[in-house]
Amino acid sequence: MGAFGWPHLLIILAVILLLFGAAKLPALAKSVGQSARVFRGEMKAMKDDDATAKAAKVDNAAPETPAADAPASSSSTSDTSS
């Protein structure tokens, strides 16, 4: 588990219980959970924005078909204007 073992975690939990009290712990846990949910949502939105920006960049980099391949029909429209 790294630098903290189970005795260290027990001491930390006891200190948190003494600081906040048993009555405030559920509200504290709820606010931490909501904050984590919002953070995850924002991170997902940022990843989605990055993915769409990369896709748009790839789409813009794709070569377009040249205009010479299209049939020339501009001469027929100029005759009907009279």
Quote the radius of gyration of the chain (alpha carbons, Å).
31
pLDDT number for residue 66: 57
Nearest to 26 by CA among 16, 12, 11, 39: 16
Is residue 75's pLDDT more than 80? no
51 is written with which tokens? 């993915």
Say if pTM beats, i.e. exceeds, 0.85: no
Sign for the CA dihedral angle at 46, 47, 50, 55 comes to negative
| Helix boundaries (H) for 1-82 | 6-20, 25-61, 74-79
pLDDT number for residue 33: 94
pLDDT digits (tens, 9 = 90+) for 17-71: 888 888 888 888 899 999 999 999 999 999 998 888 888 877 776 555 555 555 5
Phi, psi of 73, deg, nearest 5: -125, 15
